Structure 1
Amino acid sequence: MEINKFLLNHKRNPEDINGRLLAAWMAILFAIFFAYSQGLDGSFIFDDFPNIVDSDQLVLKNLSPAELWRAAFSGDAGPLRRPVPVLSFALNIYFSGLDPWYFKLTNIFVHLSCTIAIGILVSRFLRAWNLQQTAGSASEPGHRAWAWGGWLAASIWGLHPLNLTSVLYVVQRMTSLAALFGLLAVAGYIEARSRSAFTPNVSNTSRSGIHHYASAVVLLVLSCLSKESGLLFIPLIILCEFFLFKFKNRGSSITVFGQSLQHWAIYAVILVAVCIIIWIAPRILDTTRIPYRDFSTPDRLLTQSRVLVFYLSEFFIPQISKMSLYHDDIEISRSFWQPLTTALAISFVSIVSLSLFKLRKNYPILLFSWLWFLISHSLESSIFPLELVHEHRNYFATAGFCIAFAYFSIPFFVKAGNKIWIIAPTLIILLGSSTAIRALEWSSPLVLATMEASRHPLSMRANYQLGSELIFAADQATDKRSLLAQAKSAFEAAAASRSDSVSSYFGLLAAKFALAKEEDAHADVQDIVDSLIFRLKNNPAEAAIPAHIAALSHCQLSGPCSLQDMDALALITAPIENPSMSPSAKGEVLKMAAEYAIARANDWTLAQTMVEEALNHSDVPSTRIVYAQVLRNRGDFQGSRLQLEVAKRMDGFGRYTSAIERENLLLKQSTSEEKAQ
């Protein structure tokens, strides 16, 4: 029996159903909160540090519009700067400081909001689907079965352990906020189109229609300003339009400038295809290694076929033992047959695509959910030179599968009646327990690092994280030597991984110095330093090198590191000779070398030479400010003032306003002292 007919033949008391539905929603939201709250005691991790912890730009002086604007656009995580989540990080710091507990709590509430958005989207989608199947003539069943379908989809999605890194990994608030605004935009669009497509005497240009469309546009903008993946909700809206409304209003095609909307959609697809052929095709054939990556574009595309299959397996058969923050141990596909699973994965994706296309007349909802998944991965799992695997990329990609599951489950929910209260706890326990167990691992940085390294022994990042956490734990423990020895072993495992990253050698250096301090002996680090200098000069450059250089410089100035200054400067400046290092990274490294020369030896002449070379590589406001500091201390007050003026002009979003004001104040003091003498 068709689902729409089934619904019309099974009506119940609306008030009874609405009460149960509200209770079910309260239960599932509480279950989600409880599961994720197990990880609230965890710490910041990985990209949280450069984007949040170490970013002085996020510190708000007050809540004035100018200060909020400055903080919002202080990020550099993407081409649009992602001002919405960045501002939320700044507000977190303003009200609760750098306590990760409050950051994670905020993320959980964002996730709960996304869960509600999924429920709204799915219920509106199922209602529109029902109306479309009956040509808009079906009356709404009293029990609102599609609302139960929305609840079911939201329950599966909200409790699924695959979504955990989008919640407890603080910086991924960028992903969850983009999803929240995007999902609401799609839901708003479906509501507006349902009114105009199936309701008599209601047009797209009615006041309510314009309101819904305008809201959808605003939400789409907010989604894109949260993360660039928000752009994908535009083709997802078009996908919903195609399957739900067929570009028609009450059976008549919608025309724009004399052409049907469907024709315009076809023209848009052709235009995109031409752009792909012109711009993307040459990149697909380019076997040159991508800067800061150990793969080429063809390698990435081949590997993504296996990655998509991995994502699918973890959604449909979730195994928390395979889920991880770090997947850098994945073997890169160098050809169709290497490894063999590449060919199998490509065949699987192709067979599923063709099969669902053939079944589109009888089971169109399956094709819809599959296309939703593929479209959602069309940015981060395609040619763009991002890292190969991250679980948070599935945050809204799996919503299509939840829609399909809810669609096929509606008859069961209608028949279940009171049995719903047996089914709901079972669903909550199965998915919620998996998420709670995984969240509990995230509550302890050392436990998380240990689990990650044990599950991914070939992951450089997992082993490096374990070594770092062991060094940190040693600072607070009585048996320091044992923990430091374990840290050294973890860094050695990182060095022996598939990656040729220099990170493990920086870790080994830190472990050696920490052990030397504990044993009150000189650290034998020369071999590590020589190897590290060689790798910094000759290995393919990495994006993390400036951060490691900054950490080494800090360790030399205030920590246990005790390299000779000449060795330290040689190590700090080694990446400058690396031809694969980007000009901006070289400029950043030279600026740090100048700052080290100032702090360690008060050598302003050497610092000026280095900062001028840094400007030749990359002219940015932060380097201009350091240059102004150098000139001020060398007595060139006019030159210092000029550099600060240049820095202010370059600082379009006001990221460095505080630093410029501080240096201007010091310059005035120095000028006054000079006149007094």
Structure 2
Amino acid sequence: MTDFLRRSPWRLLALLAAFTITLIVYWPGLSGGFLFDDYPNIVDNKGVQPHDASLPSLVGAALSSPASDFKRPLASLSFAINYLATGLDPYWMKLTNLLIHLLNGWLVYLLSLALLRSDPARQHPHASLVAVLIAAGWMLLPINLTAVLYVVQRMESMANLFVLLGLLGYVTGRRRMLDPRHVPPPTSFGNTQWTGFILCAASITIPTAIGTLAKETAVMLPLYALLIEWTLFRFSQSQKAAIPQEEHQIRFSRRHDPRLIGLFLLVLALPFALGLAWLLPNVLKPATWAARDFTLGTRLLSEARIVTDYVAWTLLPTPNALSFYHDDFRISTGLLSPWSTLASLVFLVALTALMLWLRPRKPLAALGIALFLSCQLLTGTILPLELIYEHRNYFASFGLLLAITPLFAAPRSQPFALPRHVLLAGLLLSWTALTAMTAYAWGNPLRLAEDLALRAPQSPRAQYELGRTYIIYSHYDPASPFTRLAYAPLEKSASLPNSSILPEQALIFMNARMKLPLKDAWWDSMIAKLQARRPGVQDESSLGALTQCAHEGRCDLPQQRMMNAFMAALSHSAPSARLLATYGDYAWNVLEDHALGERMTEAAVNASPYEPAYQITLIRMLAAQGRTDEAHQAIQRLQKLNVGGRLDEELDALRLRLGSPSHG
């Protein structure tokens, strides 16, 4: 104990140094702007921009996210709090993200230390230092940058804050249960073993529930806890020590603890079975994949390559690999199309076999591999999500560092200790350098757009974002040099395979705002894309932007071309509520065809009955036509969605418009 106290200040200083370096590395990136999904979730989402901190406003903010049917209320509420404190300033939102990242780094340190001390293979003589290295490496990994500087991915970092808290609580509870100094009589309940079990149960239920309110990835917490149990604790009960125990040492018995088996059956096996039964019918429908460029089969083949890439991008990243935009990825259509599909499957099978082989020999390394692989099960298997996102490795990267860092940070008495230390130092320096370089690029929107377009020259999104940034810098001045620069990347983006209609929309929008000619080729390309495949979120956003510009009188768009675009988008089965509502908006406000506008808006309400925005628009349409009785009936239906008073302001405005007293 004396030796520990003597050396711990140095370990504390090392941890503080890691926090300081992380802060310095990320600081230049805080001055950047919003990007990509930040716009629908924050910038264009008036729900997270409340007028005040009243309960109805905060409830409305919490339930305003378009990112998920589950709304992710905790993350949305945090954006609203940022807005109330500092307005729509990305600097303070990114700073909040960085503080969450540092807090997560502290939790990674504590969890790593607890796991190192629980390793049944051997006690690590420098566990605190190894834990510091794991936390430092994790905070500085380039693959984790988007979970910090990409504002909307606070959802990911906040969810994993509760995952880390839950796992730390679980390990702490299990160590209490296995403490040989507290082995109770069989009938005793008021003892350390039972308090430890209660802590375990609470740690994998309460943080899971709270974390899921930030993002659904928190539901993986019970599985991670099971893997810790499987590799380190092995469902054991404690046994009395025959000899005095060293500090932190635990002893296992061969008997399994039935409480733990029952706990995991209740919190993991049962929810998994119910969730699978709920998901599978929808996943197996071909219509589910209609808006994607891949099927369930080609997705699974592709994800084998992607997960293999994630290993390389985490441990040996390069700027071109970590390009943020990955829509230029070639989808696997067979085991040899491309050949790396089969090679990746072989690698993953080998990695799984290695995990099983390491479990009795080096349990901590086996645990790290298991955590990495299990983290991919939610986002890298059957769900019809986009194929690749770097932020999905925010927790998975911890697993890889847990597997390799103790091996590289070996005591000097072990063979090849010096080369291992040199390799680990080289990795830490390369991670820090690449993260610093990337954070610097993120500190300026134009610099970032140029950097990402250079990293991913065949990415439609990267080229579009560069053109869009040039448009912003042009301030819609035809004489600006940025105006001329915008055309090349936008036209390149439009011509690349699998691109959305975003680049065509941007070209049309820019020239219309500047009163410049609109090329027929832009319209033809946009309509052909909408006809060829079911519109995605970006396509719908593009049509919405053109509709708004025409409605506000800033863009003189040919109505026949716009009608052709909408007809192409609506030609696919089961159009989304958002697309229907956008067409209703265009018909009502631009075409002044009120019957068509009302019909499309009513179809949007039917397609998404729990989204109040469409019902509010329909009520306004009814009121404008003097159909007050129908409007009052619609208000009564809308009232059912007024959870926590979040729609009080809108309902009062609608009643006032109809000449009824408000209920506020």
TM range (shorter): 0.7 to 0.9
Distance 2:94 2:337 in 1: 40
Distance 1:553 1:363, change over 3 A: same
Kept in 2, the 8 Å contact 1:632–1:670? The answer is no
Distance 1:303 1:425 in 2: 33
Kept in 2, the 8 Å contact 1:31–1:428? The answer is no
How much does 1:568 deviate? 3.4
Q: What is the aligned counterpart of 1:96 among 52, 68, 86?
A: 86
Q: Which residue of 2 aligns with 1:5?
A: none
How much does 1:589 deviate? 2.7
Q: What is the aligned counterpart of 1:49 among 29, 39, 43?
A: 39
Question: Are 1:451 and 2:441 matched, yes or no?
Answer: no
Question: Are 1:178 and 2:159 matched, yes or no?
Answer: yes
How much does 1:171 deviate? 0.4
Question: Are 1:22 and 2:22 matched, yes or no?
Answer: no
Letter in 2 for 1:644: I
Distance 1:277 1:586, change over 3 A: closer
- Greater mean alpha carbon deviation, residues 266-275 or residues 154-163: 266-275
Q: Which residue of 1 aligns with 2:208?
A: 220
How much does 1:613 deviate? 4.3
Question: Are 1:551 and 2:545 matched, yes or no?
Answer: yes
Q: Which residue of 1 aligns with 2:229?
A: 241
SS state at 2:292 partner: coil
Letter in 2 for 1:541: P
Distance 1:385 1:606, change over 3 A: closer
Question: Are 1:575 and 2:566 matched, yes or no?
Answer: no
Q: Which residue of 2 aligns with 1:70?
A: 60
Distance 1:185 1:589, change over 3 A: same
Distance 1:283 1:147 in 2: 47
Q: Which residue of 1 aligns with 2:431?
A: 431
1:559-592 deviations in Å (ceiling 9; x for gaps): 652113454344345422233x534244323332
Letter in 2 for 1:658: E
Q: Which residue of 1 aligns with 2:243?
A: none
1:64-110 deviations in Å (ceiling 9; x for gaps): 44443332222242243211111100100011100000000000000
Kept in 1, the 8 Å contact 2:229–2:235? The answer is yes
Q: What is the aligned counterpart of 1:157 among 122, 134, 138?
A: 138
How much does 1:332 deviate? 0.2
Q: What is the aligned counterpart of 1:188 among 138, 158, 169?
A: 169
Q: Please show how residues 101-112 of structure 1 align to structure 2 within 5 Å.
A: 101-112=91-102
How much does 1:631 deviate? 1.8
Q: Which residue of 2 aligns with 1:395?
A: 394
Letter in 1 for 2:471: I
SS state at 1:314 partner: helix
- Taking structure 1 as the reference length, the TM-score comes to 0.85
How much does 1:651 deviate? 4.3
How much does 1:500 deviate? 4.5
Letter in 2 for 1:160: L
How much does 1:529 deviate? 2.4
Kept in 1, the 8 Å contact 2:145–2:435? The answer is yes
- Greater mean alpha carbon deviation, residues 637-646 or residues 17-26: 637-646
Q: Which residue of 2 aligns with 1:6?
A: none
- Greater mean alpha carbon deviation, residues 445-454 or residues 429-438: 429-438
Distance 1:148 1:227 in 2: 32
Kept in 1, the 8 Å contact 2:149–2:442? The answer is yes
How much does 1:425 deviate? 8.9
Q: Which residue of 2 aligns with 1:169?
A: 150
- Taking structure 2 as the reference length, the TM-score comes to 0.87
Kept in 1, the 8 Å contact 2:40–2:66? The answer is no
How much does 1:449 deviate? 1.3
Distance 1:223 1:289, change over 3 A: closer
Distance 1:397 1:286, change over 3 A: same
Distance 1:67 1:387 in 2: 32
How much does 1:537 deviate? 3.5
SS state at 1:668 partner: coil
Distance 1:69 1:271, change over 3 A: closer
Q: Which residue of 1 aligns with 2:629?
A: 638
Kept in 2, the 8 Å contact 1:229–1:379? The answer is yes
Kept in 1, the 8 Å contact 2:302–2:331? The answer is yes
Letter in 2 for 1:487: A
Distance 1:649 1:447, change over 3 A: same
Letter in 2 for 1:400: G
Letter in 2 for 1:592: D
Kept in 1, the 8 Å contact 2:56–2:644? The answer is no
Kept in 2, the 8 Å contact 1:572–1:589? The answer is no
Q: Please show how residues 448-527 of structure 1 align to structure 2 within 5 Å.
A: 448-475=448-475, 479-480=479-480, 482-514=481-513, 517=515, 521=516, 523-527=517-521
How much does 1:346 deviate? 1.1
Question: Are 1:38 and 2:31 matched, yes or no?
Answer: no
Kept in 2, the 8 Å contact 1:494–1:504? The answer is yes
- Structure 1 unaligned segments of length 5 or more: list them: 1-10, 672-677
How much does 1:312 deviate? 0.7
Distance 1:284 1:577 in 2: 23
Question: Are 1:662 and 2:653 matched, yes or no?
Answer: yes
Distance 1:372 1:501, change over 3 A: same
Distance 1:168 1:669, change over 3 A: same
Q: Which residue of 1 aligns with 2:248?
A: none
Distance 2:114 2:11 in 1: 16
How much does 1:225 deviate? 1.6
Q: Which residue of 1 aligns with 2:187?
A: none
Kept in 1, the 8 Å contact 2:371–2:396? The answer is yes
Letter in 1 for 2:634: Q
How much does 1:44 deviate? 0.6
Q: Which residue of 2 aligns with 1:674?
A: none
Kept in 1, the 8 Å contact 2:231–2:359? The answer is no
Distance 1:285 1:571 in 2: 30
Q: Which residue of 2 aligns with 1:352?
A: 351
Letter in 1 for 2:658: L
SS state at 1:180 partner: helix
Root mean square deviation of aligned Cα: 3.4
Q: What is the aligned counterpart of 2:613 among 616, 622, 630?
A: 622
How much does 1:643 deviate? 1.5
Kept in 2, the 8 Å contact 1:35–1:432? The answer is yes
Distance 1:263 1:206 in 2: 14
Q: Which residue of 2 aligns with 1:584?
A: 577
SS state at 2:361 partner: coil
Distance 1:504 1:653, change over 3 A: farther
SS state at 1:377 partner: helix
Kept in 2, the 8 Å contact 1:546–1:588? The answer is no
Kept in 2, the 8 Å contact 1:537–1:574? The answer is yes
SS state at 2:377 partner: coil
1:138-185 deviations in Å (ceiling 9; x for gaps): 8xx9xx722222111001101111100111000000100111110111
How much does 1:28 deviate? 0.8
Distance 1:110 1:63 in 2: 22
Paired residues in the alignment total: 638
SS state at 2:378 partner: coil
Distance 2:133 2:437 in 1: 22
